[in-house]
């Protein structure tokens, strides 16, 4: 059977599934404690990203904007960024790091952000003596790439700017990639069970923030400046995603001789097995019985569902590349058939991703992978009867395709705003595999009942 890898055969985007590079950089930066990213561009470049984060997490986040206007096209907008940094430092006495994130407009007019950072560092020493503030230039023109590459660029910029060689920490770097708070909780759980000390980058677990007396309602990340500086002194780096943080892991290996392992994204049983083995390889820690028991429970639950309900069900998946490929690998584990994978930006590296080649070796059906895709690719195939699927997996922007064509849909990825609390649940680890399996099953069960399609089976299974 074949695995066809193509890009969409038309210009333009209809119903985009991805967001721009600056949004990815902003997501990476709000994972840092005592940090407010400054988006150097129009006000909408931060406002709409904040809206997406608020829709997904139901929380507020501090993100600043240089708010440039038409005059910047002629005179440049650096003065706005300079004023923005100065205002933030005066207003927020605890602010320790300001990533300056460029946008399409400021990259096109040629604003020298790197030069500005050097100038502002000298100015800060004079105007704020005794105060140490880190400025990090992050170049994310939104006329190329996507939020995926923007996240990767931001992580690399932060690590290359801050990492500094010192005494060995004995800790493990874990670069999570674009994940939910529930995923971070699950990663920390695995590390704790293995008695491994680690720096989680970026630690977004606290985005699921409680409402407390006398506290504001803004959410903040938990990765500290010291964590980023000390990444150069770790026993190793695990980057869970190939396209979201691997560049930083390779930099630490090349520059500071910190061993790096890239992937696999720990979605499903086999990938989680590999994740745990990689932790053990870098730290020398053994795998405890508690994780073996979790693994056994997940396998038992999935076995109850796979052959009876999942076998030969055809699935279309869209979203971030590491997530999509990880979900496809999970589908094969539970007898689902991922017949269509859609990746939404122009990264040609997808064509040579070894994981897709491995998928091709495992499948006994035809599978299509479309890069530089949009959601119209899915809708067109369903409308024209070119494709039949039993399930769609992806974020909430695909909901109308699922509704219009009466295909059940499992929400996973970013953003998910039409279901409550999904960011609390992991899709990584053994508990994530259990959650995914049961969520898929319950979605299919509800569809069976709604369509009166052999719903009587649910009385007996």
Tens of pLDDT, residue by residue over 65-119, are 999 988 887 888 999 999 999 999 999 999 999 999 999 999 999 999 999 999 9
DSSP string, 105-145: HHHHTT--HHHHHHHHHHHHHHHSTT---EEEEE---TTSS
DSSP string, 306-331: IIIIITT-EEEEEESHHHHHHHHHHH
CA 262 to chain centre: 15
pLDDT in tens, 250-284: 999 999 999 999 999 999 999 999 999 999 999 99
Radius of gyration of the chain measured on its C-alpha atoms: 23
- Residue 302: half-sphere exposure toward Cβ, Cα within 13 Å: 23
Between CA 263 and CA 295 the distance in angstroms is 19
**Cβ(246)–Cβ(152) under 8 Å?**
yes
Which candidate, 95, 84, 162, places its Cα nearest to that of 128?
Answer: 95
**Cβ(401)–Cβ(387) under 8 Å?**
no
pLDDT in tens, 350-366: 999 999 999 999 999 99
pTM for the structure as a whole = 0.95
């Amino acid at each position: 059977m074949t695995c066809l890898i193509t890009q969409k055969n038309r210009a333009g985007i209809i119903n985009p599934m991805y967001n721009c590079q600056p949004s990815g950089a902003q997501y990476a930066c709000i994972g840092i404690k005592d940090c407010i990213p400054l988006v150097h561009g129009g006000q909408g470049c931060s406002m709409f990203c904040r809206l997406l984060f608020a829709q997904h997490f139901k929380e507020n986040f501090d993100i600043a904007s240089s708010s440039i206007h038409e005059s910047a096209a002629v005179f440049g907008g650096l003065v706005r960024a300079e004023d923005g940094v100065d205002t933030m430092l005066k207003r927020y006495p605890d602010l320790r790091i300001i990533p300056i994130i460029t946008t399409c407009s400021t990259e096109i007019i040629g604003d020298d952000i790197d030069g500005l950072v050097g100038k502002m560092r000298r100015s800060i020493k004079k105007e704020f003596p005794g105060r140490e503030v880190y400025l990090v230039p992050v170049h994310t023109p939104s006329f190329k790439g996507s939020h995926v590459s923007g996240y990767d660029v931001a992580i690399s910029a932060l690590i290359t700017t801050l990492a500094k060689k010192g005494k060995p920490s004995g800790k493990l770097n874990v670069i999570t990639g674009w994940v939910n708070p529930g995923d971070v909780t699950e990663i920390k759980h695995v590390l704790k069970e293995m008695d491994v000390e680690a720096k989680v980058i970026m630690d977004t677990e606290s985005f699921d923030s409680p409402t407390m007396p006398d506290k504001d309602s803004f959410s903040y990340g938990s990765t500290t400046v010291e964590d980023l500086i000390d990444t150069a002194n770790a026993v190793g780096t695990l980057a869970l995603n190939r396209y979201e943080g691997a560049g930083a892991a390779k930099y630490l290996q090349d520059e500071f001789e910190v061993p790096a392992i890239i992937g696999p994204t720990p979605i499903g049983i086999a990938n989680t097995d590999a994740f745990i083995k990689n932790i053990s390889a870098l730290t020398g820690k053994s795998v405890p019985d508690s994780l073996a028991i979790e693994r056994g429970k997940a396998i038992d639950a999935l076995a109850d569902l796979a052959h009876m309900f999942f076998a030969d069900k055809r699935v279309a998946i869209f979203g971030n590349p590491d997530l999509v490929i990880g979900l496809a690998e999970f589908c094969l584990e539970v007898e689902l058939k991922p017949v269509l994978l859609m990746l939404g930006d122009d990264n040609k590296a997808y064509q040579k991703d070894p994981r897709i080649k491995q998928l091709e070796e495992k499948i006994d059906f035809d599978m299509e992978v479309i890069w530089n895709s949009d959601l119209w690719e899915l809708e067109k195939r369903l409308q024209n009867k070119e494709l039949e699927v039993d399930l769609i997996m992806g974020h909430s922007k695909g909901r109308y395709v699922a509704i219009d064509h009466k295909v059940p849909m499992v929400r996973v990825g970013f953003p998910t705003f039409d279901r409550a609390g999904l960011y609390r649940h992991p899709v990584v680890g053994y508990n994530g595999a259990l959650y995914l399996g049961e969520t898929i099953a319950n979605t299919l069960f509800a569809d069976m009942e709604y369509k009166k399609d052999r719903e009587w089976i649910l009385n007996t299974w």
